[in-house]
């Protein structure tokens, strides 16, 4: 309902490590669509990269979280963390942010070239899907506040930065590439941050380059 989409198909949802009791089932849904081809605004160097805030894990990373935490223990899920300002269970159950209506509301003033949902594969694997072969993005990690749940998971699981960027959204539900404009620099709503820019792809071949560190 939030997206204004009709559900016209289905899928099989796989949840490794979770066994449902007899008589229970998991209900999942997905949607597909098509749009007439338009020339649009092709991605090119020096465009701005915007990040859309996530509330938490969103749709990915739960298998790894189950390996790190004993989530079958009620006491573990009900443990209160000061940095989260809530229990672990409440933080893990934060809903997915859905931004389709926000995108539509901003199309009058922002020229969107591409969007990447940060799901499985994280920033490292999803952003390259919307880039030309000769382009990369340079992302400044100081430009958004990473929700504390990610730091907690990383420290508890002793996870390397690369694994975090490949498994979790790290606080960004979606990334958009847009034409540079003064409006973007001066009038961004609070749930969007300018996180970087499109650059020429370096000789190393990397298409996602991070600079700085989370605050």
* Structure confidence by residue, pLDDT tens digits, 21-76: 778 777 766 666 676 766 567 999 999 999 999 989 998 899 899 889 877 778 88
Quote the CA–CA distance of 56 and 171 in Å, as a whole number: 7
Query: Would the pLDDT of 167 be above 70?
Result: yes
CA-based nearest residue to 146, from 120, 164, 172, 165 = 172
Q: Is residue 20 part of a domain?
A: no
Residue-averaged pLDDT of the chain = 87
Q: Is residue 137 part of a domain?
A: yes
Write the CA distances from 116 to 20, 71, 76, 122, 159, integer angstroms: 32, 30, 34, 10, 24
Query: Would the pLDDT of 16 be above 90?
Result: no
Q: Is residue 71 part of a domain?
A: yes
Q: Is residue 123 part of a domain?
A: yes
And the tokens for 15? 């949840």
Q: What is the CA radius of gyration of the chain?
A: 19
Residue 162 φ/ψ, nearest 5 degrees: -60, -40
Q: Is residue 120 part of a domain?
A: yes
Quote the CA–CA distance of 190 and 144 in Å, as a whole number: 10
Domain coverage including residue 105: 48-211
* Structure confidence by residue, pLDDT tens digits, 33-43: 676 766 567 99
Question: At 77, which CATH number?
Answer: 3.90.650.10
> Which uninterrupted H or E stretch holds 74?
helix 74-77
Quote the CA–CA distance of 122 and 128 in Å, as a whole number: 11
Q: Is residue 35 part of a domain?
A: no
Write the CA distances from 173 to 69, 130, 134, integer angstroms: 23, 15, 25
The pTM of the full predicted model, rounded to 2 decimals, is: 0.83
Quote the CA–CA distance of 179 and 112 in Å, as a whole number: 7
Q: How many domains does the chain have?
A: 1
* Structure confidence by residue, pLDDT tens digits, 142-166: 999 999 999 999 999 999 999 999 9
């Amino acid at each position: 309902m939030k997206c204004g989409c009709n559900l016209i198909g289905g899928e099989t949802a796989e949840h490794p490590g979770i066994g449902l009791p007899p008589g229970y089932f998991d209900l999942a849904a997905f949607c597909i669509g098509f749009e007439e081809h338009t020339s649009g605004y092709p991605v090119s160097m020096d465009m701005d990269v915007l990040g859309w805030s996530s509330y938490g894990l969103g749709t990915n990373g739960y298998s790894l979280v189950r390996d790190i935490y004993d989530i079958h223990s009620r006491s573990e899920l009900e443990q209160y963390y000061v940095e989260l300002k809530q229990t672990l269970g409440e933080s893990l159950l934060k809903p997915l942010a859905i931004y389709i209506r926000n995108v539509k509301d901003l199309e009058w003033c922002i020229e969107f070239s591409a969007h990447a949902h940060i799901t499985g594969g994280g920033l490292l694997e999803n952003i390259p899907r919307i880039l030309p072969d000769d382009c990369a993005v340079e992302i400044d990690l100081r430009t958004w506040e990473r929700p504390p749940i990610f730091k907690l998971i990383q420290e508890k699981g002793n996870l390397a930065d690369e694994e975090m960027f490949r498994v979790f959204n790290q606080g960004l539900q979606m990334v958009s590439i847009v034409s540079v404009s003064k409006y973007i620099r001066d009038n961004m709503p609070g749930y969007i941050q300018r996180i970087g820019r499109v650059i020429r792809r370096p000789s190393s071949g990397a298409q996602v380059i991070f600079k700085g560190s989370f605050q």
